[in-house]
Amino acid sequence: MTERERIQSAHDVYLGFDVGKSFHWACALRGGEAVVDRPVGNRRDDVRDAIGEAARLAGELGVLVTVDQRNNIGSLVVREARAMGCDVAYLPGIAECQARKMYPGVAKNDRFDAWVIAHTSETSPPTLLPVPDSRATRLLGSQRRHCVKLATQARNRLHALLLEGDPELEAALDLHEPWLVGILAELGGANGVAGCSKRRYNSLCGRLGAPRDEADDLRRLCERSVELGFHPEGEDGCVRWLAADILRADAEAARLKLESHRMLADDECYRCLLTIPGIGPVCAEALVSLVDVSMFESHDQLASLCGLAPANSSSGTSIDHVSAPRSGNKELKNLLIFTVNSLIGTDNYFGRYYDKVFEGSKGDRKLRRKRAMKAVARKRLKVIFAVMRDLVPYDPSRWEDAS
């Protein structure tokens, strides 16, 4: 029995937790009747007492513990429920919101939300999702993505700041070059670079490993910008601060990436994923840390998680169409589609499939390319599911023969 089948099977008691930072509200239903309905402190002993109280009222079928947040403030409930041998499920916030709307006139509060979670678990088990085991790589990956987000925000802000002073200078700067960002972090904007002595500037460029010609071009651009641009007092300080933020965030993201790859070096699933065309270390790490394949019965369910399953809409004979899904894990979806770029123009199975879909699509070139990339991402997800499930390297002959 898979994890999904287990949480959707019958239980004696359905315990819903509306989790919070300082306390949760627990509501346990047995045969539709509330047997536990009280606040529970966000402390290990308090959570264990509430789960134990529900477990004592259960029979052979046991207790299903359902939370509305599986990470952060809900992680303690998940850990303790598993430690006590209970099945654990997750009710997504959008599903809880829709279920709550079925009872108009009732004010939203923690107690009612906990009842909704427990009642939905008992009466609508298909709405429940499994809760994957927490992995160290998931934590590292989450922190790395946070650092990348901070670096992107700082770059965008720095671009906006430079654009106000001199659009020509802003367009000429590549803020993904570490040596260039290092110079801005040390000297500031155009005023700081142009006003720096030649000796100090050359010493700084040598320390940062800046190419000589490009460094000279940067200085000439800044000198010209000082003459023609608008650089108010205080700009240098803002540029230094934002550039330093970029360097710190990039360095931390690189460190976390190496640490994550080191931890996954001996992971069999990670190594098998790297044998699939177009799947590199970043995409393989995301799949291993975010996907517990044992929770999915088929690649269709995994496609739904990744946002690659088409949404079919129909109503009698008047409406019948297929649209792109808006749900799913956006990070996985973007990674799986973006990595298709490396397959375009290749002579392997996926490259030929891209050409087939592209030639058979209608519309302009951009639309046809978009459709073909999504189709290849969905096709490759079948391979990803099989590789993660069976823990075997990708075998091109197997898939080419099957196609």
pLDDT tens string 170-195? 999 999 999 999 999 999 999 999 99
pLDDT higher than threshold 60 for residue 315: no
Pair 171, 292 in one domain = no
Q: Tell me how far apart the alpha carbons of residues 242 and 159 are, in angstroms, rounded to a whole number.
A: 10
Note the pLDDT tens digit of each residue in 342-364.
999 888 889 999 999 999 988 88
Pair 296, 366 in one domain = yes
| Mean local confidence (pLDDT), 80-104 | 89
Could you tell me which residue, 63 or 306, shows the higher pLDDT? 63
- Range of weakest confidence among 212-216, 276-280, 309-313: 309-313
| Mean local confidence (pLDDT), 227-237 | 87
Residue 145: what pLDDT? Answer: 87
> What mean pLDDT value characterizes the chain?
88
Residue 28: what pLDDT? Answer: 95
Side-chain-side CA neighbours of residue 78 (13 Å): 17
Nearest alpha-carbon partner for 141 in 50, 30, 270: 270
Q: pLDDT category, 95, cuts 50, 70, 90?
A: confident
Q: Tell me how far apart the alpha carbons of residues 314 and 329 are, in angstroms, rounded to a whole number.
A: 25
**Residue 125 phi/psi, 5° resolution?**
-60, -30
**CATH number of the domain to which 183 belongs:** 1.10.287
DSSP codes, 234-252:
THHHHHHHHHHHHHHHHHH
Q: pLDDT category, 80, cuts 50, 70, 90?
A: very high
pLDDT higher than threshold 90 for residue 230: no
The 3-state DSSP class for residue 59 equals coil
Cα dihedral: 216, 219, 220, 226 (round 10): 180
Pair 371, 277 in one domain = yes
Residue 2: what pLDDT? Answer: 72
The 3-state DSSP class for residue 4 equals helix
Question: What percent of the chain stands above pLDDT 90?
Answer: 60
CB burial of 305-323 (b: ≥16 within 10 Å; e: otherwise) equals: bbbbbeeeeeeeeeeeeee
Residue 311: what pLDDT? Answer: 63
| Mean local confidence (pLDDT), 33-43 | 94
**CATH number of the domain to which 90 belongs:** 3.30.420.10
Pair 166, 250 in one domain = yes
Q: pLDDT category, 402, cuts 50, 70, 90?
A: low
Alpha helices in 61-211 (DSSP H): 75-83, 93-100, 110-123, 136-165, 167-172, 178-187, 190-195, 198-208
Q: pLDDT category, 319, cuts 50, 70, 90?
A: low
Pair 235, 294 in one domain = no
Pair 108, 177 in one domain = no
Residue 156: what pLDDT? Answer: 96
- Range of weakest confidence among 15-24, 67-76, 238-247: 67-76
pLDDT higher than threshold 80 for residue 229: no
Residue 325: what pLDDT? Answer: 59
Alpha helices in 188-276 (DSSP H): 190-195, 198-208, 212-228, 235-264, 268-273
Pair 287, 395 in one domain = yes
Domain end marker among 261, 276, 300: 261
Q: pLDDT category, 92, cuts 50, 70, 90?
A: confident
pLDDT higher than threshold 70 for residue 400: no
Domain end marker among 198, 229, 261: 261
Could you tell me which residue, 94 or 243, shows the higher pLDDT? 243
End-to-end CA distance of the chain: 30
Pair 8, 110 in one domain = yes
Residue 47: what pLDDT? Answer: 95
Domain end marker among 219, 238, 261: 261
Note the pLDDT tens digit of each residue in 234-286.
899 999 999 999 999 999 999 998 898 888 888 899 999 999 999 998 899 88
Note the pLDDT tens digit of each residue in 119-143.
999 999 988 888 876 667 778 888 8
Residue 104: what pLDDT? Answer: 80
Residue 134: what pLDDT? Answer: 61
Residue 225 C-alpha from the chain's centroid = 40
Pair 115, 164 in one domain = no
pLDDT higher than threshold 60 for residue 322: no
- Range of weakest confidence among 128-142, 149-163, 203-217: 128-142
Pair 218, 276 in one domain = no
pLDDT higher than threshold 70 for residue 212: yes
Pair 225, 319 in one domain = no
| Mean local confidence (pLDDT), 65-92 | 91
Nearest alpha-carbon partner for 87 in 182, 2, 176: 2
Pair 100, 52 in one domain = yes
| Structural domain boundaries, residue 328 | 268-402
Could you tell me which residue, 320 or 9, shows the higher pLDDT? 9
Residue 216: what pLDDT? Answer: 94
For residues 391 and 268, the answer to whether their CB atoms sit within 8 Å is yes
Report the number of distinct structural domains present in the chain. Answer: 3
Note the pLDDT tens digit of each residue in 42-62.
999 999 999 999 999 998 999
Residue 250: what pLDDT? Answer: 96
208 to 212, 238, 244: CA distances (angstroms) = 11, 21, 14
